[in-house]
Chain A
Amino acid sequence: MIRVAKVRLRLPRHVGKSLLAGALVLLCARLGVAQGPDPLLGLDTNSRFAVDLMIDSATAAQLPTGPLLSRVLEGIHRKVDGKRIVDAVRRELGFLRSARSALGGVPDDELIAAAAVLEAGAKPAQLAVFRTRHKDRSDLAAFTYWADLITRGVPSEDASSAITKLWQDGADDATFYSLWKSVNSDILQGLNPGAALQARIRETPGRAPSSKTPPEGPQETQSQ
């Protein structure tokens, strides 16, 4: 178990050889992986052609192409057939276009998060209130928890109303997180998702309890 040698720190010759071997292995590992194959090689020719067209289309529309490429890679790694991959990329492109129309020139990361909200089931019109920008304020958290609430079964209108109202009241990320965590906990305990949101949004200080309030215009806005 114990193999100990009293060796001085002055490195002998064989240690130099070992260092050289180790360094070569490290170099080969890095070089070997750095020169990886084309990530889209896993697609069949027809699917590849369709995906390339959509990526070109996204580029022309100044939409981020990362999410499209990510859908392709995800499909390849999950061993999904080419047709489903093309469909997924097409849907994602549609969500990005809709989000861009609703939000205008927002940063790419927020556009991607907004596309996730649309993918979850929100309507593009419900995003419109976020078009007006608040300086140094990100709507990433709001979009993320919004998408999750819809996914967990909260009616789209209720989720939209609650998130929009909180946003207009200037809620920070911690408030969105707190609401989401409470609702999620209630749902896990068997409460109806819509009822859980209604109950929890009432407990949020200074928030309006209305469940069917349509999206309103921003109360405090600052244009970009």
Chain B
Amino acid sequence: MNERKVANFVLTLALLVPAPRGLAAQLVSKIEAGQYSVSDGVLPMSAIRFAPAVQYEFPRATLTARGAAFLSEQQLQLADGIVSGTFTSPTVYGVRAEMIGNASRALDDRSLGTDQVDVQTRVHVLFHQHGGLWFGGGVARPWRVAVISSADVTDAGAWAKVGNAAAKFGGATMTATFTNFSFNKIASVHDTGSASLSCASIPSTMSSAGPARALFSEVSTGGACERQSRFSDLEGTLHWEWNALEITAQTGYRFGDSYDVTADSRRWSSATATIWLNDRVAFVGGGGRQPALPLRGLPSRTFGMAGLELAYWPISKGAVPVSLPHAILVKSFEVRPVAAGTQRIVIHVGGVETVDVMGDFSDWSPLTLVRRGRDLWELSIPLSPGMHRINVRVDGGPWMAPPGIPTVHGSYSGDVGLMVVGGDRSGH
């Protein structure tokens, strides 16, 4: 297959191109083993889920690719995959711009796999790092969902954070989002995955629908018809962290005409609990109901799951970049050799969203660490033998010297840490 040959060639070329200094690729993975069940006719199954991911971090951009596969009944089954990029402007007077692009694939069963490309831009207003609101819009283009055209997506939301994981009653982040989808349905499908409506029956049905008729513009072309559809999702999410316990719960309501929203997608709610056994292992359990995703051609479903999670990497939706200066929460800092010329920076800090380092090894450009556990952050970087200067920050706060290593006064402001990387001294 020519495409595969070209893909292999380009991939090889990409890997051969020397990565610039300071660009760190992070390979992360998540393995879940547990019992999954769905309500749409598929029998409950036992499965082990593999979710490898690779992430490139830039100062103002993140490029991520991840996928998932299930090992079930001695058969490897593909699940889904996504390539996404997030670009963020500097924050000026508490306002910043964000652009998010995703190319994703979801496979619901052997015959139904859907692809989608979506791009969104947002303006995000931050209020003293404890809350914020955003609004924006974009376009989602589904492929292989024959009955749906491109969709215009507009969204707005707000978030607030109270407490923190180390507080007496923990910390909670509350998010509310309102997302509007506007698209054209082609042919006769009523709501993907549910009852269908033939072209011929639309007029009579609509005539009895009364005021809802104004929402539709019908076009009959060669036996197919097209009508404009829209629906809106209002969703609230609560994420609560307290010691080794994390609970995420969400509930939502879908506004829209009954032709676009089936009864089983009108309301939904779900919850997931994570109990951390140590930095890298957690018990995860949850269940609930998820609405249909018409743009993806996926029906609503009820799910239940329980499993053990090894390694932890939260995939941010980019909607809630909570930022708090938690300098005091940095518990430890270590540098460990992992390979010739490569060192791994390991930082323990809890209750934060991002951890960055910068130093002479990165030409003083920030590098973002990857979360590997509840409060464990890591980054592997090439480091030459010798003394290196380093600063660390959490949640975009002030730069500071890491704890537990020697420090000196910086040339400009604050202190910088000194890392000593050993090497072969035989040549000296």
Contact = CB atoms under 8 A, between A and B. Distances in A.
A109 to B, nearest CB: 3
By size class, the interface of chain B is 35 or more
Interface stretch (B134-142, B154-162, B382-390): B382-390
B3 A17 contact: yes
B303 interface: yes
Contacts of A3: 79-80, 106-108, 298
Interface stretch (B172-180, B201-209, B311-319, B410-418): B410-418
Contacts of A24: 10
A174 interface: no
Contact of B389 (A9, A20, A70, A145): A70
Given A74-B364, A144-B387, A88 B56 contact: no
B13 A27 contact: yes
B3 A138 contact: no
Contacts of A30: 14, 17, 19-20, 23
Contacts of A180: 406
Nearest to A140: B420
A23 B10 contact: yes
B107 A7 contact: yes
A116 B416 CA distance: 11
Contacts of B168: none
A22 B65 contact: yes
A73 B364 contact: yes
Interface stretch (B68-76, B188-196, B346-354, B369-377): B68-76
Determine chain A's interface SS by DSSP, over half rule: helix
B274 to A, nearest CB: 15
A144 B1 CA distance: 58
B63 interface: yes
Contact of B387 (A9, A14, A137, A143): A143
A157 interface: no
Contacts of A60: none
A11 B4 contact: yes
A101 interface: no
Given A4-B79, A36-B20, A77 B387 contact: no
B56 A29 contact: yes
B238 interface: no
B112 interface: yes
Contacts of A31: 17
A208 interface: no
A151 to B, nearest CB: 5
Contacts of B128: none
A84 B411 CA distance: 9
A120 B408 contact: yes
B3 A112 contact: no
Contacts of A13: 1, 3
Interface string B383-411: 01111010000000001000000111111
B365 A77 contact: yes
B372 to A, nearest CB: 23
Contacts of A147: 406, 408, 418
Interface string A15-49: 01111111111110111011010010000000000
A120 B416 CA distance: 12
Interface in B273-298: 290, 298
B106 A7 contact: no
Contacts of B425: 136-138
A18 to B, nearest CB: 7
B385 A7 contact: no
A29 B389 CA distance: 27
A80 B408 CA distance: 19
A108 B387 CA distance: 10
Given A25-B63, A34-B17, A138-B425, A5 B364 contact: no
B113 interface: yes
Name the residue in B18, B387, B407, B410 with the highest tally of chain A Cβ atoms < 10 Å from its Cβ: B387
Given A19-B7, A78-B399, A145-B406, 9 more contacts: A3-B79, A3-B80, A22-B7, A25-B85, A73-B363, A109-B384, A109-B386, A138-B425, A180-B406
